[in-house]
Structure 1
């Protein structure tokens, strides 16, 4: 039987590793889009800070609204608990106590990931693309290591649970933010808005699979339905809920969390059958945020030593942290 403390460390290690990869990809895609849209008005990095739930903290610290400050804050600021560096640090701290449960190579891999994240000057434009590609590659290699070298037991179920809850929450955050600020566009704005929706897909590694699945133009409705209802794309919300259900099925006493996941799955299935439009999907995402928060809390209360004092996985409070 796995100890509660070990389960908690595995869960948070998985969440932080997934979060590191998500942050790296989000910044990489936004940096690429910045080159294509140098004339975009307003603070270009505000959407990224909003998605990561750190805009309020960024402004509260009085940091200048510049690209340099924003990327340093997102990538390498140790005072930002949701920065790439912080996520890698938290993952390393959690894995440190799990050497008897996880493949030995995972300790070396997470140290390599942390060293890459801590490299000086990683936010500089001339280094950023190569650096972030390395972070993404290392994160994906760790996911492959776990899937290929761990027993398919309760420990791996907890790892999958943490990774998939984080992944589903990030999809909700990205899509909810996009629906609030990007339309379909008409006339001269049509191609510009389509380019923004391509950026949304790329933030979730979804562009190629979207084109394979839909074989049509990139639209607000098409992207929304694909990222929510796809049963075959790993980062789609419905697919994430399926993974959550499978992981919970390998764990004892999962009733409360499983019921929350099943309720949200049923709500999404009904909306898909009804042909939900983009505005209806935006409402569904608010419900999904609440349900994922409740699911996370149920996991903490059921499997960890004491309820973890953690903010819900929502855009405004993505800076989750473990209790003492």
Structure 2
């Protein structure tokens, strides 16, 4: 008989084993210890045991769902609408028995009790409270299409796609970087510098990037040391056993409001990839919201290819 309950302090080892057994595809890390998941989930200051619901068969955890909330526009505090389904999984031996639907219904009830009117399935920037660094690769970006069970399940439960993120990767064993006159000329005017973190951080940032290894790279003009582009690089060590490579993720790619912003970002990425090769990194990944065609085209010209797609879903009906 399947029973359902909220998270207990003794559950992390059970959930780690379930995570490994569910085979969620290329976008799910295979952590070697409970601490890897605990750092980005159970130890978060806003973690609520009632939002993590476990399905049990006797003493065995056979499924779980995790619901939570995002932050306000300033990244300063939690807001309770919309709610977000961060993760859902059922052990392969127990699928197609209605366990997933029951878990989803209980998670929606929890979110409604906390004040949510709308529900999003799959995390996105600002609505990504958990699993940073262990699901999605560079960051949680919806549910990945490489997990083939997610989309049909959510569609059957009344959820529709509302946002998409392209997942692009660059094989750093291929050292052929783009070269043209404008790129080479601009590279002579700049230098690459590294920092522990970007200047304008907030509470939400410290609960995410502040919990993983990261370094901020800035492209500085030699003439006056002003920054014209920057990117944050995060280590993806928990994906080593999944991808069989040493990989990093690129986040917070930005540039000044300049007519040559795309050129600035391309030079930045080329210089960062050169630095990463020296550190024996073999793969770089970046997520880009669908529709940012200029950025995606620049990345493809820089040697990146699309390897996956993250999809965010929205419940078709509100909770009230």
Higher strand share goes to which structure? 2
Normalised by the shorter chain, which TM-score bucket? under 0.3
Whichever structure has more helix as a proportion of its residues is: 1
